[in-house]
Every structure is written in structure tokens, then in C-alpha cells.
């Protein structure tokens, strides 16, 4: 999880500085938990106006065991931070609220880093796709309109459940299992304000991605609350080739059943092997997700944790408003010093 968020997926259309603009203020909270490893909780508020975006984030990571403790110090650091993107100036700033300082980085630097990463991948023979040893026995993705309704933070919401399952077999070891990703999404009917917010954020996102050198043609708007879809590819035993790539039409058809603007996304990923080779080397899937979870679960979990999902994630929009605002008023915190 990258708290600096080099690639900002929530943004707003670039407009001329000094003119009144539709500004979007979004507050949300999120949590992602890894069984036997730890939980990262975050709350954030983003103010998007014109060609500027100011974010304020509070994060708290609670690690479990030695591995979780080390991760808390190295990767998932807790604290109060912020980000400021100025597309007109082509800069970003990383804010440390505790020290009341900020560091400015030219967007050009992020673009250069992106190019270097792409070139390194092209020049790495190991990065080339290899034939998978995982055979997909069955892959299924379904979306259900549950008919359930409730009010969440003032939004009238309806519940949808998306269930993705993959039965797989390792042709080399004979290991078998079923990976399951279940996501409950609560959506609210699309209003004029939500449409305006979506349009503003999408336009800025595309402008920012273009500035940092990322092809945004296949960019899927995260404002729709569908960031969890990326987990389908990440946890797919054959690296995203089932359901989404092998059957894109079917996947799109099922996703089309979800109507409205997502307010809550609540997901759980559970790899369920039919047997394990050893206790110290769990067989949890053959792809990226299996490797990730396998690395986190080297230590045998206690009985209570055995029933918990390997990964769970939750996001909830607590407030979302659209108003008129001069983009020039969106600035770095007053009194903070540049490092």
C-alpha cells in the first residue's frame, strides 16, 4: 500500500487558475487486513478544485507478530500526512503534518521514474511471461442484486454482491484449491452532484496520469468505488487471464448489473486449498495472490484466525460535496516549511 500515492486515482478537471470552479470534497475511511500480518486503517479528505488537489490522510497500522512489526516500521507507517498536486506548476508536494514541513517534487521526476521502470521491465528476461503451471478447472464471476437497502451517511443505498471463484490445479505438484473473492457494494442513485463530482475527478485523473507518463486509455475510474476489481487480477492464479481477460464480455455484463454510485465496498479474499504440502509452506494458490498470501502466512495461524479471510478490505465514503471554489485558494498549509 503506497501512502504517497504516486498515481492519484481520485482527481478533478484542470481549469484556469483564478476562476470559480466546481470543487469536490470527498471524505472516506478505509481498512485492509492481512490474516496473521496486520491491519492498515486510514481516513482521508480530498479537496479537488481546478488544477489543484489537496489531500489529508491519517493512517494507523497495527502489525501482528515479528513480520507485521517490521512492516509497520518499513512500509505501513502510521501518522498524519498529506499530498498537494498542482498541475499548472507541474509539481507535487508530500506533507508531514507532525513536523509541519513539506517536500516538493517535480512531476517530471515521477514521469522519469515511470520510464525507467518500464525500460527495466522490457530489458528483464525474467519479466517475460512464462507458461503457467496452474490449470484452471472452473472460473465463475457473478453479481447479485440482493434487494437490501439502508441509509449510509445520508445516502440511500442498495446492496449488490459480486462473487468470483476459481477452481485450480497445479499441474506440477498436483495441489488443488478454490480461490474466492466476495465483495458487497452499497450504491446510491446517481444525482447531478455525483455526476459532476465523477466528471471533475475523472478529468483530473487523466490529466495527472498523462503528466506522469502513464497510458490512461484503459484507465477505469476509481471514483466509482471499483478499485477492488484490481484484486481480481492480483489474486488470479494465472495472473489475471481468467474471467476478466478470457471472458471480458461476460465480466462486463455482470458488472453492468451494479447500478448507482458506490458508497461502501466490503470485500473478502479466501484461498481454500484442498490440501497443503507442509505446514511451513502453505499452498494458497499459484499466482500473484497465492505468492503474496503464502508469504504472509508462513507462520501457522491460531484456530480463530483460520476462519478469517486471508485478505479483507473496506472503504466507505463518509461525505461527498460539490461547491463553487476559486482553485487559487487550495494551497499548502500556512506556516509549513519546505524541506
Q: How many CB atoms lie within 10 A of CB 255?
A: 16
pTM: 0.75
Parallel, antiparallel, or unpaired for β 101-106 and 337-338? parallel
Note down pLDDT in tens along the chain; length 339 residues: 333 332 333 232 222 223 345 799 999 999 988 887 889 999 999 999 999 999 999 999 888 765 656 655 556 678 999 999 999 999 999 999 999 999 999 999 887 777 777 677 666 655 455 566 778 888 888 999 999 999 999 999 999 999 988 888 888 888 888 888 899 999 999 999 999 998 898 889 888 888 888 766 545 444 344 455 555 555 554 454 454 555 667 777 888 899 999 999 998 988 876 654 444 444 444 443 444 444 544 445 555 566 778 888 899 999 999 998 888 899 999 999 999
Amino acid at each position: 500500500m503506497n501512502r504517497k500515492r504516486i498515481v492519484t486515482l481520485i482527481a478533478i478537471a484542470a481549469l484556469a487558475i483564478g476562476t470559480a470552479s466546481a470543487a469536490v470534497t470527498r471524505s472516506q475511511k478505509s481498512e485492509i487486513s492481512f490474516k496473521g500480518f496486520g491491519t492498515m486503517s486510514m481516513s482521508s479528505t480530498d479537496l479537488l478544485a481546478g488544477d489543484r488537489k489537496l489531500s489529508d490522510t491519517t493512517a494507523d497500522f497495527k502489525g501482528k507478530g515479528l513480520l507485521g512489526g517490521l512492516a509497520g516500521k518499513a512500509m505501513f507507517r502510521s501518522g498524519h500526512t498529506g499530498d498537494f498536486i498542482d498541475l499548472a506548476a507541474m509539481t507535487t508536494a508530500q506533507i508531514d503534518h507532525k513536523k509541519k514541513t513539506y517536500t516538493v517534487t517535480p512531476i517530471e521526476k515521477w514521469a522519469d521514474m515511470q520510464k525507467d521502470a518500464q525500460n527495466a521491465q522490457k530489458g528483464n528476461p525474467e519479466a517475460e511471461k512464462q507458461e503457467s503451471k496452474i490449470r484452471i478447472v472452473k472460473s465463475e464471476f457473478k453479481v447479485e442484486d440482493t434487494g437490501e437497502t439502508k441509509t449510509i451517511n445520508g445516502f440511500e443505498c442498495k446492496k449488490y454482491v459480486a462473487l468470483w471463484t476459481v477452481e485450480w490445479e497445479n499441474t506440477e505438484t498436483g495441489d488443488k484449491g478454490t480461490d474466492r473473492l466476495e465483495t458487497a457494494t452499497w450504491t446510491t442513485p446517481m444525482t447531478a452532484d455525483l455526476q459532476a463530482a465523477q466528471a471533475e475527478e475523472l478529468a483530473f485523473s487523466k490529466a495527472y496520469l498523462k503528466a506522469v507518463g502513464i497510458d490512461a486509455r484503459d484507465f477505469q475510474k476509481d471514483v466509482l468505488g471499483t478499485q477492488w476489481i484490481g484484486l481480481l487480477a492480483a489474486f488470479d492464479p494465472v495472473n489475471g487471464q481468467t474471467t476478466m481477460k478470457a471472458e471480458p464480455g461476460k465480466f462486463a455484463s455482470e458488472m453492468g448489473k451494479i447500478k448507482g454510485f458506490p458508497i461502501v465496498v466490503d470485500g473478502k479474499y479466501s484461498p481454500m486449498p484442498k490440501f497443503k504440502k507442509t505446514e511451513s509452506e502453505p499452498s494458497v494458490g499459484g499466482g500473484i495472490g497465492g505468492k503474496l498470501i503464502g508469504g504472509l502466512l508462513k507462520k501457522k495461524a491460531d484456530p480463530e484466525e483460520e476462519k478469517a479471510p486471508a485478505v479483507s478490505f473496506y472503504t466507505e465514503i463518509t461525505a461527498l460535496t460539490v461547491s463553487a471554489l476559486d482553485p487559487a485558494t487550495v494551497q499548502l498549509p500556512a506556516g509549513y516549511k519546505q524541506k
